[in-house]
């Protein structure tokens, strides 16, 4: 039996190597398996939990779709749509927010990180964000959700919401309890400037990340400037323990060539760091530049992109509105 896959990416600006290695690469593999049913969502409702410029948001929605396609997601074998066009998401999120407990939400570490020191100024949406994410997943009876490591806690919350709803309303199995798919190794790609911080779209310095739209010169320059330490290449995993930057770069390399950290350590042991950086730049350029060029090309084909979102919207709407109808019956509307 194939899996029912669902995942989402926020259209909040350039997608980067963390998104690609942590999530999108997995989407492509799952999408390549003909047994799976895949739904990929551009989660624009999630994007507005922090301030967005409306004009940029509209462009970013297309750019996120273009990044999916350029990375290898096949629109003929998946449903791709943007969340705001399927009103069932907002509706189900409200109903599920009456199942979720405030105690569960208050434990979410991402909210604490994103809200920063002044939590009172964070939007209510940023706080209830994981409930909307649960709605996204549960509306499609998804069985598997590929995400980066940072979404693990949100997925556990989604499982709690599903189980609680099923038991509160005595509807065993109504919501499927989904399994996360998280890469075992290198599930968290770190900033090129600080190996203890996640690579992210919101980091001020562009030198901290490789964007999927970077060209060869930008990639080579960023790897050249990436922070390292003054030690030689390690000869064991132990030696990487207190070297977050070296570990991150070696993890990125291993992930890109579908190898393991152990093998990368053996291959580069005794060499100097600049030699490793050259090899890393080379594999990055080979992998990212074709994606970057394809994104740029696709962005000139707005009608094509909009047609994919329109088709995806129709298919997603059919599934999600059926599920919402059943939810209405269950809760007594």
What is the binding site for ligand AMP (CB under 6 A)? 9-10, 18-19, 22-23, 147-148, 150-151, 188-189, 198-200
Q: b/e for 71-90, b at 16 or more Cβ within 10 A?
A: bebebeebbbbbbbbbebbe
The reply on whether position 145 binds ligand TRP by CB under 6 A is yes
Q: How would you classify the pairing of strands 144-146 and 78-82?
A: unpaired
Q: Which of 80, 88, 133, 139 touches ligand TRP (CB under 6 A)?
A: 133
Least Cα distance to 219 among 197, 250, 192, 195 occurs for 192
User: Got the DSSP string for 286-297?
Assistant: HHHHHHHHHHHH
Can you tell me the distance from the alpha carbon of 143 to that of 206, in angstroms, rounded to the nearest whole number? Answer: 36
Minimum CB separation of residue 224 from ligand AMP in Å reads 21
- Position 186 contacts ligand TRP (CB under 6 A): no
Tell me how far the alpha carbon of residue 98 is from its chain's centroid: 26
Residue closer to ligand AMP by CB (options 31, 99) is: 31
Out of ligand TRP, ligand AMP, none, what residue 137 binds, judged by CB under 5 to 8 A for its kind, is ligand TRP
CB of 23 to ligand AMP, least distance (A): 4
> CA neighbours within 13 Å on the CB side: how many for 217?
0
Given 3, 5, 10, 295, the residue binding ligand TRP (CB under 6 A):
10
Which range binds ligand TRP by CB under 6 A, 1-9, 66-74, 186-194, 222-230?
1-9
Shortest separation between residue 83's beta carbon and ligand TRP, angstroms: 7
CB of 122 to ligand TRP, least distance (A): 15
Tally the residues of the chain: 333
Given 6, 68, 81, 276, the residue binding ligand TRP (CB under 6 A): 6
Q: Residue 6: name its binding partner from ligand AMP, ligand TRP, none (Cβ under 5 to 8 Å by kind).
A: ligand TRP
CB atoms within 10 A of CB 258: 7
Are the C-beta atoms of 157 and 134 separated by less than 8 Å?
Answer: yes
Binding status of residue 151 toward ligand TRP by CB under 6 A = yes
d(CA 167, CA 57): 39
61 binds, among ligand TRP, ligand AMP, none (CB under 5 to 8 A by kind): none
Identify the H or E element spanning 28. Answer: helix 25-32
What does 108 bind: ligand AMP, ligand TRP, none (CB cut-off 5 to 8 Å by kind)? none
Piece of the chain touching ligand TRP by CB under 6 A; list 3-11, 112-120, 262-270, 298-306 = 3-11
Q: Which does 145 bind (CB under 5 to 8 A by kind): ligand AMP, ligand TRP, none?
A: ligand TRP
* Residue 254 engages ligand TRP in binding (rule: CB under 6 A): no
Q: Which residues are 62's β-sheet partners?
A: none
Pairwise CA distance, residues 112 & 23, whole Å: 22
188 contacts which partner out of ligand TRP, ligand AMP, none, CB within 5 to 8 A by kind? Answer: ligand AMP
Q: Could you list the beta-strand ranges (E) of the chain.
A: 4-9, 37-42, 78-82, 144-146, 179-181
Number of H helices, E strands in the chain: 14, 5
**Contact partner, 255, from ligand TRP, ligand AMP, none, Cβ < 5-8 Å per class:** none
Q: Which 35-64 residues touch ligand TRP, going by CB under 6 A?
A: 43, 46
Which residues are marked as active site?
114, 198, 201
SS (H, E, C) 81-146: EEHHHCCHHHHHHHHHHCCCCHHHHCCCHHHHHHHCCCHHHCCHHHHHHHHHHHHHHHCCCCCEEE
- For position 144 contacting ligand TRP by CB under 6 A, the verdict is no
Nearer to ligand TRP, 39 or 285 (CB): 39
The site for ligand TRP (CB under 6 A) is made up of: 6-8, 10, 43, 46, 133, 136-137, 145, 147, 151, 154
């Amino acid at each position: 039996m194939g899996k029912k896959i669902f995942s989402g990416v926020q259209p909040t600006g350039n997608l980067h190597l963390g998104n690609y290695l942590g999530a999108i690469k997995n989407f492509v593999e799952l999408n390549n398996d003909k047994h799976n049913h895949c739904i990929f969502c551009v989660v624009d409702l999630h994007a507005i939990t922090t301030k967005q410029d409306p004009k940029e948001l509209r462009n970013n929605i297309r750019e996120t779709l273009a990044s999916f396609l350029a990375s290898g997601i096949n629109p003929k074998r998946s449903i791709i749509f943007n969340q705001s066009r399927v009103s069932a998401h907002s509706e189900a999120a409200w109903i599920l927010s009456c199942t979720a407990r405030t105690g569960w939400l208050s434990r979410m570490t991402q909210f604490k990180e994103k809200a920063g020191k002044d939590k009172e100024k964070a939007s209510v949406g940023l706080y209830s964000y994981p409930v909307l994410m649960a709605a996204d997943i549960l509306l499609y009876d998804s069985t598997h959700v590929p995400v980066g490591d940072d979404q693990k806690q949100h997925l556990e919350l989604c499982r709690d919401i599903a189980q609680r709803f099923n038991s509160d309303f005595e509807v065993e199995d109504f919501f499927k309890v989904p399994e996360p798919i998280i890469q075992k190794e290198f599930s968290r790609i770190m900033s090129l400037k600080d190996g203890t911080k996640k690579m992210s779209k919101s980091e001020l310095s562009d030198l901290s990340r490789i964007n999927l739209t970077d060209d060869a010169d930008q990639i080579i320059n960023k790897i050249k400037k990436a922070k390292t330490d003054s030690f030689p290449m390690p000869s064991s995993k132990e030696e990487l323990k207190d070297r977050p930057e070296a570990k991150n770069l070696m993890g990125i390399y291993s992930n890109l060539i579908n190898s393991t950290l152990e093998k990368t350590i053996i291959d580069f042991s005794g060499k100097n760091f600049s030699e490793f950086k050259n090899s890393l730049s080379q594999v990055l350029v080979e992998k990212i530049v074709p994606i970057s060029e394809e994104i740029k090309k696709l962005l000139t084909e707005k009608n094509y992109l909009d047609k994919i979102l329109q088709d995806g919207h129709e298919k997603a709407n059919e599934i999600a509105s059926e599920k919402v109808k059943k939810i209405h019956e269950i809760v007594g509307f």
